[in-house]
Structure 1
């Protein structure tokens, strides 16, 4: 059998993917779903053989082909099964972007485990509380972070213990997981402060993948062995966008190119040129930093044809600046809208949409329903989503934002126009989005008031040209101190990106409402005028 025949054979054994949609009952709910669809994430591993010796993962000097990737996954999966890890077992991935992160993710999927994606930037306190919530059977920890994991948890090395080889590793065997079984846990910040574990099923992730492949005409039977592009991935893998990127890449044969460390615009520009990057998914902050870098005018970036921006609101001014700064992507600037609780993207806008309707987030993906719940006290209502991509629920005893009819209450405000385009006009939930990271003001306030010098604290977001928003704190102090000194002390209890960068000291106690609680709206309104006057 030739290599091409073997690849086609592997593809034919995969579950069928179609474009026809029908109502499917899941428990007490009915969703719009594809009648022909994959049911298990592990089935996607069969596509690796289709792409052979093509580069799959690139980071620094490291280049991992699809063949090497599959051998590493099989070797790692064999280690897991030997250790007794199998269906339903929770395995925590605690590390930064790397080939090992990707191999560990797929190896966990291969044995039917639940991949728990920890945020590598968490403080020690956030890590401990999240591990207590998860109760994992195993923690896979990057050597740089492993010492932060409490001794009571079993920690395994970040890399496989032996060099993988196709003959030594046990090939993937379907563990029998069903599409409603949990597949991944992804953490997101909520208004209560502590990270919340969003449980996504195989159905959740595969439905989202199939919709995106369907609208872009990239379903497995529609692509051949020449498919696949070099794609720059600059966001963290432990976000839902990172998982979506991994799933797409193995289906269509993409080469994933990652920075060697923290995002650096000069490195991103070099990677685009060296690897002839065609696609880049990023938060607006990263795009802005590239556009402002002097190298963008001297390097050859003409291969970059498509940029997808998300993770923060995108305005018409930003899109125009992107098209001007990167002319090659002019017709292909896409955006969208979604939540981790909805399995990621639920609404998409193509390049043509962003030109014709600047500022819109797009229209619903094929299986997604949108409704607007009236909010009489506000000009626009709350956006509700219903989709097969939505979560099973949160870990622990946390109330779900999904109602009995299956509608996910997003907390975002907006409206639909006559053509079905969704426009987001605000957020009813108390949240700051800084550079694509969600920050719960309540968690920052709690950390501040634990400091003996702080009597009361109100935290809010203020506009920032690069990050979208930055964190500001209004404080009532017990003593005359400089609040900028609090930064280093806070980093032990909250993530570094959540530490305030703007400080307002209030000399009198905060006003309270009729219930005796701090009138946060009044405090923020007054503090904003002081921030803007500086």
Structure 2
């Protein structure tokens, strides 16, 4: 057993960092780039598959080493920030690992962003370089320094090695920056340390009995990735796959259930990471009963609540999957996951998000007038802070305010019962209503706007806008004006246009709660 494998233990103790006590593994890795060393363990085994393209673990390692050397030759130095802006591809994965090997900090930008949002992100982070694929590069503002997106294609690791880079050794150093939507509407840059990323990974490996010394080297999972790698869950999937030797099948282009069904059959996919909307659309597709999906054993569902109807349909239409449907709860500021439920727990406690992960502590903050308390989390996985901002939802004792309401049952399972923050979750994407409201008010003729989520069978929620205008607008015209200003998935699909001012509460503010309740009731009556 290698020394790298021996550094992943199960024993947990309390360690104080910056005056805050955290539950941490006694034996743990300290730097993310060390994870890539596990690629040598799997050699020629296929690692990345996209259509006809296949990269082995040897290919990944050699390409990442070559790209890291290229970055250093282009002047990238330890601690420099590099924007990664692109859709799922082998190039995205290689660039991700190359940043760590070069001592740089990858900044995972959202490929759905408009040109305005990309410009805002670049202005806030001031990266030394942007790596963007062809589709995204067209939206990068003039003046930004673009680096090469492509990768080396040499087969095998051979004599290739990582560049000689002087990197800080501490696990508290910044490893990665990833964006999340805040209730203010501006995407915030979440700073995650090496400790945060690795603690999340180690907890996941621990509870699934996949720590490096526990792995059966003859076994291999094939995992289908249909969600974006630039989300926190995608990044964790990449790291886990290198440790355990998984093959990752990357979908091509927009989500297409027919393509996914064919890919599961063709590549003998065993695991699939998806949001509920994707699973529902796959189950609705006529090919679902005609494809051989017997290889599929596990669906990891996240990003939105999992409803009883969906669970029942999975059990009925995908019987090979029914015993193992993992779910959980987390947010980017917490490193992506705080609880997990799997196997019989997910079926027996349908609706819960499972139990806290081994190093995660949970408590609740009471809010007057709300039936349940706000969920507070403390964990070594949580962020160091928001880049460039003094504000933080983490208090001086290390407790992260999530904005979600919940409770623990007598078995220790966490149940999410509501939100005390203003956020829409559409098909797994977080949408801040405030950003849409601001964009609407920038349109001449729009005098007031209020945006909120309304139920949608397929997406979980869709975006509703109630707009006061003194112009002869149609909803289609307003949609067109918003495109290019906000992400495409955030453009409202439901509209109410009116001349009358919006109702206000006793403080004189627009009564969003009353408007939302009225619209939801009307939609329910119409259905």
Distance 2:449 2:230 in 1: 30
Q: Distance in 1 between matches of 2:309 and 2:413?
A: 19
* Alpha-carbon shift at residue 149 of structure 1 (Å): 1.7
Structure 2 Cα separation of the partners of residues 132 and 221 of structure 1? 44
Q: Give the Å deviation of 1:520.
A: 1.5
CA RMSD of aligned residues (A): 1.5
State the partner residue of 1:311.
Answer: 303
| Alignment-derived partner of residue 293 in structure 1 | 285
Instruction: Say which SS state the counterpart of residue 331 (structure 1) adopts.
Output: coil
Cα deviations by residue, 1:67-126 (Å, 9 ceiling, x for unpaired)? 111110000011112123232110000100000000000000112211100001101111
**Cα separation, 1, equivalents of 2:158 and 2:296:** 38
Report the equivalent of 1:352: 344
Correspondence 1:193 to 2:160: no
- Contact 1:511/1:518 (CA < 8 Å) preserved in 2? yes
Are residues 1:32 and 2:32 paired? no
Matched, 1:437 2:429: yes
Distance 2:151 2:353 in 1: 41
SS state at 1:488 partner: helix
CA pair 416-162 structure 1, distance change in 2 beyond 3 A: closer
| Greater alpha carbon shift after TM alignment, 34-43 vs 316-325 | 316-325
In the TM superposition, 1:354-503 aligns within 5 A as 354-503=346-495
Q: CA distance change for structure 1 residues 251 and 118 in 2, over 3 Å: closer, same or farther? A: same
| 1:322 and 2:314 matched | yes
Displacement of 1:513 after TM fit? 2.6
When the two structures are superposed, what TM-score results if normalisation uses the length of structure 2? 0.97
Determine if contact 1:23/1:30 at 8 Å carries over to the other structure. Answer: yes
CA distance in 2, matches of 1:279, 1:525: 39
Q: Residue in 2 aligned with 1:96?
A: 87
**3-state secondary structure, aligned to 2:253:** coil
1:180 aligns with 2:180: no
Q: 2:115–2:141: 8 Å Cα contact kept in structure 1?
A: no
The answer for the alignment partner of 2:66 in structure 1 is 75
**Could you say if the C-alpha distance between residues 417 and 281 of structure 1 is closer, same or farther in structure 2, counting changes exceeding 3 Å?**
same
1: distance between equivalents of 2:524 and 2:494? 11
CA distance in 1, matches of 2:385, 2:447: 36
Does the C-alpha gap of structure 1 residues 300 and 306 become closer, same or farther in structure 2, counting only changes over 3 Å?
A: same
Q: Provide the C-alpha distance between the structure 2 equivalents of 1:86 and 1:29, rounded to a whole number of angstroms.
A: 31
Deviation of the 1:164 alpha carbon: 7.1
- The aligned counterpart of 1:4 is none
- 8 Å Cα contact 2:101-2:162 kept in structure 1: no
Matched, 1:523 2:515: yes
Contact kept in structure 2, 1:484 and 1:503, CA below 8 Å: no
The separation in 2 between residues aligned to 1:173 and 1:368, in whole angstroms, is: 36
2:132: which partner in 1? 141
How far 1:480 sits from its partner (Å)?
A: 2.9
Question: 1:477, CA displacement in angstroms?
Answer: 1.2
Equivalent residue number for residue 154 of structure 1: 145
Aligned to 1:279: 271
Residues 533 and 452 of structure 1: is their aligned pair in 2 closer, same or farther, counting only changes over 3 Å?
farther
Q: Report the alpha carbon displacement of residue 532 of structure 1 after superposing the two structures with TM.
A: 3.2
Instruction: Report Cα offsets for 1:381-424 as digits up to 9, x if no partner.
Output: 10111000000000122511011110110000011111111000
Contact 2:83 2:131 in 1 (8 A): yes
